Chains A and B, each alone.
Chain A
Amino acid sequence: MGRRFIRDRSDWEKKVNFLALLGAIATILGAGSVFLLLLPPATRLNIAEELALSWIFGTGLVSVLIWTFGFVARAPFLPGLVATVCIALGLLTMKVRGRSAAPFQMLRKLRPIELFLGIVIAFEIAFIFYFSCVHTLGGDGLLNWEIKARYAYANAGVLPATYLHDAGRAASHPEYPLAIPYTELWLYFWLGDTNQFWAKTIFPLFYAAGITLLVSISSRLTGKTWPGLLASSLYFFIPQISTETGSAVVGYADFPLSVFYLTAMGNLLCACRKHDDGCNDGAFAIYAVAAAMLPWIKREGAILWLIATLCGVLVIWRRKKSPAYFLALLPGLFVIIGWHFYLSQMHAVSSSDFMPISLAALSANIHRLGPIMSMLFLEFTHIEIWSLFWPAAAFAGGFFLYRFRGVRAVMLIAAIAAPIGIYAGAYIFSSWPDYHDHVALSINRLLMHVAPLATLMISAVLAPGQTRSNQPATFPLAASGSSLNVQPLETCASIAGTRPDNVWIDRDAIRSRKPCLKLWL
């Protein structure tokens, strides 16, 4: 009888935990959806893409809200306040987007190969959820990230000042930013207790969001869906992504950071398209939000933000966009300055993984460069954990440059190569007793930051046919007075065998009274 009661109670607790988890996820999605309001009405996103963006932006926003409201409120008022804001933002988004003509697109009808690959990806995501349940949090996942959520929960939702200047816990990196720990903290608020098992739930969701965004960005760039689906389905078969130390399921910030970086750079590539069918501004807005959140995910995010910002400046300059676009690059800077100001005011201790950068340190340790590059090369060819991913990426990089000559090709290659170069260079200043250990322990996780972007490049190379840097096909349209004699763009796209995103009416041609339909085949 007693045993049955205990089992019933345990089942009941699981159900309550599951419902609480759904509440936490729903509020994150609600909060994140508000960023979709930044998109111009012409931007067409399908529902999966909207959910993926809402999730990643929601984690960033909710963690920022908990941190900032934490200066004036404590639990139980703090989670109530944040939940109210999340729900209000979700309702606001529904109301505003409900008024617009096309609130969102459902998924279009898939071709058999796309349907097959979609099912494979669905199974892979289910496997990632399974792996996340089976594996424990990794060492860093527990001792660097979850630790902050646990201590903040014990301190009514605010990271204790004593933790920030506790030298004994400096190894847990109190200076790391709070996006991941405070997303876990949000789950703890809903669960009513700390729980290392349920905290892992957020990481498969990042995987699902990352794969969705990879497919959608790839299909927007290449005009075809199957290359993105194929590359994404193969991404699962990289052990470093699925099961190894630091993978997507063990509670490290590296995979979420890579998803934000993919979102930022992928959308910047979309915003860089020569033809503007009204979607370029939307892509630029998504880029700006994702880039701003990079430094809030992990310390290395500041490096990725810098690279993304330089690429953004290049796009604004090359596409002759209004100088007002430069303002979109500022929020990331505010995040970096704000966080460092907070750390300095709290006198936070910092782990001493790196010595101060100086010319003297550089000249004293420059001999390390050779061994570091050698270890980097060994990592690229470590097929037990990367399979053939990096050789494939190197091949795709060369082919991509050959095929897509232009600013977009250079930008994508630079966005992959520059972080790797900077990370490798940083090891010159490692203060570990043996810098080889430092490299060996972390290089695989750092390479994960650019892996989704390299997958995007592979998918672009897989897509056959015309490149986007060539001229689009042009068809003259019959015009009677001010109205055009043309079928809906969806119909034109269907007839031409391409996506609706790839078809647009040339507005300049309308003004010159020579209307024409343009499309990428």
Chain B
Amino acid sequence: MHWHHWLRAGVRPFTCVVAIASFLALGAPAIFRSAARSSIQFAGPFHSSDSFLSFATGANNGSKRLIAFFGSLPPSNEILIVVRDDDQRSAFLGMLVAYLAWPHPVRIVDLRNGGTPGSAELETIAAVAFCRVQPPPPWRRGEWVGDSLEIVPTGKKK
């Protein structure tokens, strides 16, 4: 066999080995870093929403608390969720509150658009959730979940 046949026969496996080694060198560290970062925790039925609430507000076991709180309000009345869409964490927290507020109808209001509830609307609203947003000064203090979610009931209880 001539030297160029040997060369041709060797190029293909050599190229494959180099490609595979590069592929692994670039991808594997990120994956093993991810594997080493955490350990298995059987965190229960609110594994994900608790983790998100903890990230967004610092509160632990927030899901059960929020569900219990919304459960004490008339189910047909709306929950108004006030967010700032230019703050990603606020918008995400708003969606998380909407997720947990079932079966209440929800309305998400972006504060930047100047959306605030009128006095007539307050009749149909069970509570207002302020997600990383300061409530207006005249509003009375509500239920705090962590340090950045405040829920102010409008007064009606089940």
Contacts and interface: CB of A to CB of B under 8 A. Distances in A.
Interface string B18-54: 0110111011101100110111111111111101100
A385 B26 CA distance: 9
A171 B39 CA distance: 32
What is the predominant secondary structure among interface residues of chain A facing chain B?
helix
A383 B26 contact: yes
A127 B103 contact: no
Nearest to B34: A243
Interface string B47-68: 1110110000000000000000
Contact of B38 (A134, A193, A196, A384): A134
Contacts, number: 110
B16 interface: yes
Interface stretch (B105-113, B116-124, B139-147): B105-113
Nearest to A243: B34
Nearest to B37: A134
B27 A166 contact: no
Given A243-B34, A387-B23, A388-B22, A237 B47 contact: no
A317 interface: no
Contact of A166 (B45, B96, B105): B105
B31 A242 contact: yes
Given A130-B40, A243-B34, A197 B47 contact: yes
A135 B39 CA distance: 9
Interface stretch (A59-67, A146-154, A409-417): A146-154
B102 A151 contact: yes
Given A237-B27, A462-B16, A137 B48 contact: yes
Interface string A140-162: 01110011001100100000101
Interface in B1-21: 12, 16, 19-20
Contact of B19 (A160, A197, A392): A392
B107 A14 contact: no
A385 B78 CA distance: 41
Contact of A154 (B31, B38, B92, B102): B102
What is the predominant secondary structure among interface residues of chain B facing chain A?
helix
A387 B48 contact: no
Interface string A217-248: 00000000000001000101111001100000
B103 A134 contact: no
Nearest to A250: B48
A14 B24 CA distance: 37
A160 B103 contact: yes
A168 interface: yes
Contacts of B26: 383, 387-388
Contact of B45 (A133, A196, A385): A196
Contact of B99 (A142, A243, A385): A142
Given A169-B98, A387-B23, A237 B103 contact: no
Contact of B28 (A237, A384, A389, A392): A237
Interface residues of A, number: 49
A239 B27 contact: yes
B125 to A, nearest CB: 12
A239 to B, nearest CB: 4
A143 B96 contact: yes
Contacts of B133: none
Contacts of A137: 47-48
Contacts of A474: none
A136 B45 contact: no
B30 A239 contact: yes
Nearest to A150: B102
Contacts of A143: 95-96, 99
A397 to B, nearest CB: 15
Given A143-B95, A168-B107, A242-B31, A388 B44 contact: no
Q: Which of B23, B31, B37 has the most CB of A within 10 A?
A: B31
A139 interface: yes
Contacts of A242: 31, 34
Q: Which of A147, A154, A166, A383 has the most CB of B within 10 A?
A: A166
A183 interface: no
B116 to A, nearest CB: 16
A384 B30 contact: yes
A141 B96 CA distance: 12
Given A134-B39, A194-B45, A388 B19 contact: yes
15 contacts: A130-B35, A134-B40, A142-B48, A142-B99, A150-B102, A168-B98, A168-B108, A196-B45, A196-B49, A197-B44, A230-B20, A234-B24, A237-B23, A243-B30, A392-B23
Given A172-B95, A194-B45, A230-B20, 17 more contacts: A131-B35, A135-B38, A136-B47, A136-B51, A139-B52, A151-B102, A160-B103, A168-B106, A168-B107, A171-B108, A172-B99, A195-B47, A197-B42, A197-B45, A236-B31, A237-B28, A464-B12
